[in-house]
Amino acid sequence: MVAGLIPFLAGCTDGPLSALAPAGEAASEIAWITWVMMIGTLVLMAIMSALGLYAVYGRTRGRGGPSSRAIIGWGGVMIPALVLVLLLVYGVRTGDSMLPVGEEPMEIRVTGHQWWWQFEYPGADGETFYTANELHLPVGRPVDIRVESADVIHSFWVPVLGGKVDAIPGRSNQIRLRPDRVGPYRGQCAEFCGTQHAHMGFHVEVHEEPDFEDFVEHMTGLDRTEAGPESGRQAFETHCATCHSRTTYVDGTGPNLASLAERPYLGAGTLQHTEQALRLWIGRHQQIKPGNHMPDHGDLDEETVEALARYLEAR
């Protein structure tokens, strides 16, 4: 039976959300202890199955073999106690590796909203800038993620980089990540937070150090308010500017849209970003992601939706 499950389990060891395909220091520790526990469970199951078969079909005590007291003492007390102590020691060591201590890190502030993520970075000139639903990290450098919530309890989790940390209203929790492999990955809210919890993901991009510095320089003070058609700018100011900004250094009540044209997903991972998907999202987002806090724009005519889409896509 176990052998029959192996081909299916193989699919869990790869992909942007696989905790068994680590791309960070803490995630490697978590993946290792996961494999140890799974293999150990199989070994213990085999031992217990063998003891069960021995008890049913083996020799009687009068003809030799271990006593019932010995079996209970070793199988029921000593061996489980040893296994639990080893797991405790290793688990404490793994948890310690994720604590924000030691080297001088970069800090990124993360705020969970129903149902999207805001990321606040230190800029090249000391001024902070924002992205929404997209986290950028440098490879090989420790990064302290300071997690907060604007409404209910959420949970920040990038499976390939490390463990989970809750975003609790009124509190600030912290976890340290150190990516060791460049690539695109995915994060997800891991605490049920409402009807659109499943659609509260975010894209993660790990860069080489020079590329990350270029990203910071590019994003610091990015202002796209003048880019795109004038009709789109006017429509944006009328329908969107109350909540959204097209400058990365402004913290709005809704997701920052300055870098929207470069994002691979829309609606916190709800749709893959294409020109058609953006137009669909603008006009029908309440049908696509019901209950999200953006006002329904189903009354916008096609011309206005097209102007807004062209304005938001302008670089």
**pLDDT of the residue at 3:** 46
**pLDDT of the residue at 5:** 52
First CA to last CA across the chain, in angstroms? 55
Please give the backbone phi and psi of residue 202, each rounded to the nearest 5 degrees, phi first: -155, 150
Tally of CB atoms within 10 A around 260: 21
SS3 per residue for 238-297: HHCCCCCCCECCCCCCCCCCCCHHHCCEECCCCEECCHHHHHHHHHHHHHHCCCCCCCCC
**CA distances for 51 relative to 47, 56, 76, 284, angstroms:** 6, 9, 12, 62
Report the predicted TM-score, pTM, of the whole model to 2 decimal places: 0.83
315 vs 271: which has the higher pLDDT: 271
Q: Is residue 73 over pLDDT 60? A: yes
The full set of domains in the chain, from first to last, is 2-97 (no CATH), 230-313 (2.60.40.420)
Q: Is residue 251 over pLDDT 90? A: no
6 vs 104: which has the higher pLDDT: 104
Mean pLDDT calculated for residue range 98-125: 86
List pLDDT tens digits, range 230-244.
999 999 999 999 999
65 vs 283: which has the higher pLDDT: 283
Mean pLDDT calculated for residue range 283-308: 91
Q: Is residue 269 over pLDDT 60? A: yes
**pLDDT of the residue at 1:** 46
Percent of the residues in the chain that have a pLDDT greater than 70, as a whole number: 90
**pLDDT of the residue at 27:** 87
Residues 6+ apart with CB under 8 A from 187: 117, 135, 156, 157, 158, 201, 202, 203, 204
pLDDT bracket for residue 12 (50, 70, 90): low
Q: Which residues pair with 143 in a beta bridge?
A: 106, 177
pLDDT bracket for residue 100 (50, 70, 90): low
Residue count of the chain, please give it.
315
List pLDDT tens digits, range 123-168.
877 789 999 999 999 999 999 999 999 999 999 999 999 889 999 9
Mean pLDDT calculated for residue range 79-90: 83
**CA distances for 120 relative to 45, 131, 148, 219, angstroms:** 48, 7, 11, 11
